[in-house]
Amino acid sequence: MERFVVTGGTRLVGEVAVPGAKNSVLKLMAASLLAAGRTTLTAVPDILDVTVMGDVLTGLGASVERDVEGGWIGIDVPDEPGVAADGDLVRRIRASVAVLGPLVARCGEARVALPGGDAIGSRALDIHVNGLTKLGAVVDVEAGALVARSGGRLQGASIWLDFPSVGATENLLMAGVLAKGTTVIDNAAQEPEIADLCAMLTAMGARVEGAGSSTLVIEGVESLTPVAHETVPDRIVAGTYAVGALMTGGDVMIRGGRAGHLGIVLEKLVQAGAEVDVRADGFRVVGRDRPRSIDVVTLPYPGFPTDLLPQVIALESISSGTSLITENVFDSRFVFCRELHKLGADLRTDGHHVIVRPAQRLTGARVMASDVRAGAGLVLAGLVADGVTEVTDVHHIDRGYARFVESMTALGADIRRVPDRAVA
C-alpha cells in the first residue's frame, strides 16, 4: 500500500497532456471480443484498470500485448474465446461487466461475476439484464455470477432504458451489432465514450446510427473484423486539472482536452471565476482570485458528470459563498465528504444534497481515497490546505489517472508517492 504526501501552498502552472479515456478504453477492449484476430488500441492510458481488463481478456483466451510507453495495446482474440470471466478480476473493476454483451452475442453464452470497483453506491444490473432478455437471452444469477445464454443468435428488439445507463447502453449496443435484425435502444446514454465505442464498432463493420444521441439504431451483421482505433481523450482527467488550476490560482494548458465534451463543466468554472481559453489543441484554464460559489447538479451527459463531483466539492470548500451540490447518479458519492471534513471543510449532507459553506482554511490531515474520483478530489484539496495532507489507498487513483504524481509535479505541485508506513 502507498500514499500520496501533498504539501499545500503551490500553484499549478504549465502544460499537461490528456491521455485516452478510462471510461472508453475498457469498453473498447471488451469490444475486441466481437471479432477474431488482432485489435489494436492507441492512446491507451497507463492506469491500473487497463491492466486488470487485460488480465480479464487473457483469462478468456485472448493474447494481450501492451506497450505502456508507446500508449498502445494489441489484443489477439481466438476463434473460440472462453465464456467465463475470472471472478476475482471482475470484482476488482465494474467496467469488466462490459464483456457480457460481446460474449453472449458472439459465443451464445457468457458467465460474468457480479462486478466490484468503487465504493460509491449500488449500480443495479437490472437494466443490462432486461435488455439482454429482450434480445432473446436467458439471464440467471448462478453462484454469484450473471450467466446469459442465447440458445443461438440474438434477435433484434426495441429496448427502452429506464435510466440512460452508460454500462447498459454499451453492453446492449455490443450485443445488438451481431443480433439478427434491427435493435433500437431508446433513452440511451449519450456520453462521448459511447460515441467512441460506436465509431470503433462501425469501423469493424457494424451498422450503427444515432451515435451521440438518445436513440441508437443497430442493424445486425453476421460478423465483424478487428481494427486499429484511437481512444477518445479523457474528459474527466481534463476536468480534474481544470478544477485544480482554478483552485490553486494557477494557469494550466490542457493539451488534448476537448472543450466540447466538457460544456457545462467549463461553464460552471467560468461562473466560479475561471478564465477559459479554448484552442484547437485543447484549452487553457486560469484562476486569479478566490473561487466564487456555484450550485451544481449531476445528471447523465450532457449534464454535469458525477465523476467530477468530488473535485467540485473540494473547489467549493474554499469558495467565497455557500453552495448546494446535488448528486443524482450514485447514492454513496458523499462518502468523500467525510474525508474532506477532516481537512476542515464546512459541509453538511442531506440525502442526495450537500451544502458547502466557505471554510476559513483547510488544514492538512490523513485522509482516505474511497474511489478514483474521491482520491483526485482529496489531492486537489491538499494542494490548497495548510501543511501536509496524506492521501491513503491511492491504488484507487492509479485506476483512473495515468502518472498522476508525475503530471502534478510537472505543474509545480509538491506531491510525493511513498510507502504507506513511511514517515512523511
Of 142-151, 332-341, 414-423, the least confident: 414-423
Assigned domain for 316 exists: yes
> pLDDT grade, residue 329 (50/70/90)?
confident
Beta pairing class for 207-209 and 215-219: antiparallel
Residues 13 and 34 both lie in one domain: no
Q: Is the pLDDT of residue 117 over 60?
A: no
Answer yes or no: do 204 and 315 share one domain. Answer: no
Q: Which of 127-131, 142-146, 185-189, 360-364 has the lowest mean pLDDT?
A: 142-146
Q: In this predicted structure, what is the pLDDT of residue 114? A: 77
Known binding-site residue numbers for UDP-N-acetyl-alpha-D-glucosamine:
94, 307, 329
Residues facing 2 on adjacent strands: 419
Residue numbers in the known binding site are 22-23, 94, 307, 329
pLDDT band at 424 (very low <50, low <70, confident <90, very high): very low
CA distance 210 to 218: 9
Grid cell 469493424 in the structure block, residue: 204
| Same domain as 127, residue 67 | yes
Which residue carries 495532507 as its cell?
389
Over range 233-259, report the average pLDDT: 98
Task: Just list the catalytic residues.
Answer: 118
Number of domains within the chain? 2
Place 121 in a pLDDT band, splitting at 50, 70 and 90.
very low
Q: For residue 260, what pLDDT is reported?
A: 97
pLDDT digits (tens, 9 = 90+) for 366-379: 999 999 999 999 99
162 and 188 both lie in a single domain: yes
Handedness of CA 10, 11, 17, 22 (dihedral sign): positive
> What is the model's pTM?
0.95
**Band of pLDDT at residue 116, cut at 50, 70 and 90:** low
Number of residues that this document lists for the chain: 424
Out of 189, 221, 253, pick the residue that ends a domain.
Answer: 221
For residues 184 and 206, is the Cβ–Cβ distance under 8 A? no
User: 312 and 192 in one domain?
Assistant: no
DSSP state of 290: P
Percent of the chain whose predicted confidence (pLDDT) is above 70: 97
226 domain-assigned: no
Residue 118 to residues 101, 371, 386, Cα–Cα distance (Å) = 22, 5, 29
Full domain range(s) for residue 52: 22-221
User: What is residue 304's DSSP assignment?
Assistant: B
> Considering the domain boundaries, does residue 228 fall inside one?
no
DSSP state of 227: -
Cell numbers representing residue 182 in the block: 434491427
**pLDDT digit string, tens, across residues 298-328:** 999 999 999 999 999 999 999 999 999 999 9
Per the annotation, binding residues for phosphoenolpyruvate are 22-23
Q: Are residues 13 and 28 in the same domain?
A: no
Beta bridge partners of 146: 112, 141
Question: Using one digit for the tens of pLDDT, what is the confidence trace for 177-196?
Answer: 999 999 999 999 999 999 99
pLDDT per residue as tens digits for the range 56-73: 999 999 999 999 999 999
pLDDT tens digit sequence for 352-370? 999 999 998 999 999 999 9
Residue 122 banded pLDDT, cuts 50, 70, 90: very low
The pLDDT value given to residue 127: 92
277 contact partners, CB below 8 Å, separation of at least 6:
283, 284, 286
Does residue 74 form part of some domain? yes
